[in-house]
Amino acid sequence: MEYVYAALILNETGEEINEDNVTGVLEAAGVDVEESRVKALVAALEDVDIEEAIETAAAAPAAGASAGGSADADASADEADDDDDDDDDEAEAADEADDDEEEGDGGEGLGELFG
């Protein structure tokens, strides 16, 4: 993964993604560099538009979140159909949703990698 991060750093700083630059970033980070992996990465990224790949990757979680939201909406609609203790069921569902969010908050993006 650190090889990909090195390529992203080079892309962000406007540097060319080549074997020497990737190796330099990895060595500066204290990584024991495998030359074959560097060559494979540079070859794999040769025809890749990194900015487009980042935008596509950033859009994927948003689509997944909306799909998850509709499942929650369906569950809420089913609960509304039940006349037995609707208020208790909704409160319990809200508590469960809060618990799920707390469990998923362990990583806060790239900041957690360096913090």
Render pLDDT for 18-62 as a digit per residue (tens, 0 to 9).
999 999 999 999 999 999 999 999 999 999 988 988 888 888 776
pTM over 0.85: no
Neighbours of 25 (CB within 10 A): 22
Look at the domain 1-59 and name its fold. Arc Repressor Mutant, subunit A (1.10.10)
| Region for residue 30 given its phi and psi (left: phi exceeds 0; alpha: psi -120 to 50; beta: otherwise) | left
Query: What is the distance between the alpha carbons of residues 19 and 15, in angstroms, rounded to a whole number?
Result: 12
pLDDT of residue 38: 95
pLDDT of residue 92: 56
Which tens digits make up the pLDDT trace of 68-112?
555 555 555 555 455 444 555 555 555 555 554 444 455 556 666
